[in-house]
Structure 1
Amino acid sequence: MDATYRTNRYNMIFVPFTAINNHEKTINVGAGIISDETIESYSWLLEAFLSSQKKKPKMILTDMDPSLNSSISEVLQGCTHRLCMWHIMSKMPSKIEPDVVSHSDFKKRINQLLSFDAQDQTIEYECLHFRFFVILCSHAFRVLINYDIFKIPNKYILDRWRKNMVDIGFQKINQKWRVCNTYISNLLQDASSFYEKCIDPVIHDKEKLQELVNSLQELSVNCGKDVASKSSSNPIKEVVENIIGAQISIDVKIKVLSGIKTKGSGKRNQIKSVAEKAIAKSLKPKRICNGCKQLVNHDQRNCPINPSKVLKPFKKQ
């Protein structure tokens, strides 16, 4: 949000609202014209802008105008307010010695301003790298090292980065039994979970553990009764049947149509290349041309010294 333009004939203040899209490009999302830079004018402009939007912005960048800052704190409550770095750097020469401002190390440190809360390990920095790319920048790692923190806080590690995003036990079940049905995979996962819960309380008690083994052995015998073996089942076939909602017949007979040639490629009607044309031309028998009186592959009509062929370009002109 910037209010530095007074280029209209009425000398009114033009205030554009600029945002950043998903491609990290700036886009104009609104604009307004106010007569003065007072708190009332800025409050009216912000309220009008909010009425045209679906939700409040999460962050806003402005210059150091005190009236605008007061309006933002009143109208955009809960919105993070930051000062524009360009305005800060443009006013540096009038506030600090020129030799200090022109120093490259000074500019580098100014651009890397950040804050760190050691209690909840929250890092706030001006580059906003994590907010836009969801990856910590080198500034944040430098701060963590300075505070002797050598492990990335959990709040900055998304679930999609973690190895255990998909449960390892779930992966082993699918690999062992080659199950592609989601419902059956979930049942197998539950069975494995209940089995582990039965073992945990008796793992240090030999008698209880032996009773559990005997119970499981009896259960395995009972489970095997009246159950058809599916060792030869095809998991890919089951997945396809679940998708189409019908069973695929194993006995598929394909009837060969009669009257169709099964050998050869038929008549060659393909376009010949330049090499094929040159080879075919060289194989033709040579004859004496009435134009050049030589033993060649052309006749008088196609002879290079034919007068009509020589004068053809001039006739076009």
Structure 2
Amino acid sequence: MYNEVGSISSNVFLSTNGTTYWKPDVSAENIPVLGMIFDKWDDVVNMYKSYAVQSGFSPRLSTLKVVKGFTTHRYILCSRAGKPNFQSFDSAASSSISRSRRSKFKVRGTKTDYKNFVRDIRLFIGDRDAQMIVDSLEKRVLNRQNFSFEFTVVGTELRSLFWVDDVMKCNYEAFGDVLAFDATYGTNMYKMIFVPFTGVDHHKRCVTFAAGLLCDETIESYKWLLSRFLDAHKKQPLLVLTDQDAAMKQAVATVFNESIHRLCMWHIMRKLPVKISGDLLENTNLRACIHKLVWNLFITPSVFEEKWQLLMDEYHLDDHPWLSEMYAIREQWVPCYFRELQMCCLMKTTSRCESSNALFKVNSSGANTLVQFLLCFDNSIDGQRYNQRLMEFESVTTTPLMLTVLPIEKHASEIYSRTIFLEVQKEIRKGMLYCFMVNSGVVYGTKTYTVAHTDRHGNIVNEFQVTLELGDNSVSCDLLGKSQSVDVSYVPPQGIRNKGCGTAPRLIGPGEKAIENAKKRKGTLRLCGKCKKYVDHDSRNCEKMKRLAAGANVVDHGPSTDGSNSVDPGPSIAGP
């Protein structure tokens, strides 16, 4: 009941389904009652106007029904009933509008409208920001399958946050051999450090495995975050890639004790102009020689160490402190020391982390609350997964252009995703254009071939040894420092290959399966509607139907003189 001066009194009720409604408090003599009789229509209208004034609305006259000159029905409605009549006007003179070509007007909000909207959101959030994001993630744990969420609080302050959903866990199970993570700033107004865990999928695109927020970059904070990551995914990656942050290094060594820790080459090589004299770098070939040696994946560690020492002796850098320090930890960042590891070339730098962090920072800003940051993060993840579906659709529904007639190229197009196939196709083309056999020989039942790899100018870059055992015709190739026994022609894979292909020749969608199943199989018998037998034709092509039609034609038109309409009597039945 509202008793304020100048307001309409009403009683508040709650319906059975939880809806709130109000009943106006009107005196009994002014309430319309079924069965009331009036002398004129004007009295009825005045009665409803009096009731509307006390109830807080205004009535209006609507349609009426007239029978033989007498009004039998009259409709009285609320003034807000129905749809209002819109009036056309030149909106370009009074609002912010742009008109695109061959389209209708598009009305946007002004800059002030957006500012007011953000202001209202922040007023609604208030000082409940941390509690709202915790409540939101706890609801996801209850409502979403296989969703994991952890956080820590010191007093009333949120110190760390970690979350991962089911899709991220599936992606890590398939593509989690190599893991990279890097901290980024400027994603929220509390200056909490955002740490996404990034990998590479079978389309060579960035994929997020998990995410976390930290209040600082201490060893304990990173240990907590990596421990929660390990609890959620249940297995350690083969290779972990980070920058030279000391806290990250100790945390990775403690939590991921079975993984190989690799440092980002880009963060190391970018310090080269700062650590070495500029005159030495600009006036000599030292920079090019170091880059050519360090980034070479095809040499062995012993060859790298030999060439490094020759380079230091040539430029008199044996006692250089920074180069000596980097050489001491060469096993943590030089690619040739990781050549025996599968997927070692997948990531050499944290550039994918930088790309992923840039995407999240585009959608979020340092002025956002934690709730707004979580919404921006969800939008970025949705966009990432949408692009993955687009590339998957392209790989399944289209056929790439073949550059050769080799069976191995066609087989690669059937099992690999489009991005991976283009990489394989490039290697096949290079093998045909830039590789040739230098010499061959037979030693103790083993035939050895030397295959040279040249550059565009015809200079030999690398040489590989290919051996053929004459006893069992097995072939082995010394490539990337690891011998792999392969046949000369391609062999279909037996195991699951989740780095660009699957167990089937390629992924087949439900629609394509339905079309394939609906096709007519050669030699398949079907039930004929005329013969009532399982034969290789249908009722339209049934011979029995054709004979009946021919017989009907003879009955209608009679037999022709040339016998063209004669009826085949069919096989005769012998009597007893």
TM range (shorter): 0.3 to 0.5
TM-score by length of 2: 0.25
Q: Which has the higher helix share?
A: 1
